[in-house]
Amino acid sequence: MRLENKVAVVTGAASGMGKAIAILYAKEGAKVVVSDINLEAANQTVEEIKSNGGKAIAVMANVSKEEDIKNLIDTAVHIFGTLDILVNNAGIMDNFEPAGDIEDEKWERIFAINTTSVMRATRKVLPIFLEKQSGVIINVASAGGLQGARAGAAYTASKHAVVGFTKNTGFMYAEEGIRCNAIAPGGVETNIGSSMSGINEFGMGRIQAGLGINPRVGKPVEIANIALFLASDESSFVNGTVITGDAGWTAY
């Protein structure tokens, strides 16, 4: 029970990696706040956790809205008394658009969900963590946050920003008992593709060669295992860095 008596918030936890993280955290003893824009699906994750003897609640949150993030964290503290772990997992893809084809509205939406939400949620939990002199923040970045052509320009830029924010936050609060790390998944079996429509042919054509060298697609639980390590005391000396989970894809 590596997370016994811990309280964790996981965004985008109705499916994919977020769901796997929430279920594993609960299995390891954490009380989990399952957050997603899809409340019905979030409740299904909660029911699965409860059926296995875990504790969880569902909170609807559109992470692009600051009021939803504030309500999410406030609800977690109101119900469970405190907060120990924040997992910023919610995210969307672009359509592989290169810079010349980006539309302002899509750029702003991708950054609002993938990047600004990470800052706002972190900002909201920091007073709680600072008072306790303890807390863990885990941001789900991407192989696209480390390399230049695993997605379109907007998604790539948004995830690079998450990596930089993670490193800065980890260092800034390192002496306050707070750790902040990121996970950079490669290709993983999730429904993130549902956020894509109208794939850019030029952009897809340029990244196609890189897709061909991907050793394999991962399972959500494989990313959840990394998130468990980062949330636990086993990673007490790991801070301000990125752990890549991609079967070696970015090693090429």
Residue spans per domain, the chain: 7-251
- The mean per-residue pLDDT over the stretch 233-237 comes to 98
Task: Answer whether residue 192 shows pLDDT above 80.
Answer: no
DSSP assigned state of 190: S
- Architecture of the CATH domain 7-251: 3-Layer(aba) Sandwich (3.40)
Q: 36-66: string of b/e by CB count within 10 Å (b at 16+)?
A: bbeeebbbbbbebbeeeebebbbbbbbbbee
Tell me the residue length of the chain. Answer: 252
Contact 228, 28 (CB under 8 A): yes
Name the region of 247 (left: φ>0; alpha: ψ -120 to 50; beta: rest).
left
Task: Answer whether residue 137 shows pLDDT above 80.
Answer: yes
**Distance between CA atoms of 160 and 205, rounded to whole angstroms?**
22
* Confidence category of residue 109, pLDDT binned at 50, 70, 90: very high
Task: Answer whether residue 167 shows pLDDT above 80.
Answer: yes
Query: What is the model's pLDDT at position 217?
Result: 96
Catalytic residue among 25, 155, 173, 252: 155
Q: pTM of the predicted model, to two decimals?
A: 0.97
155 is catalytic: yes
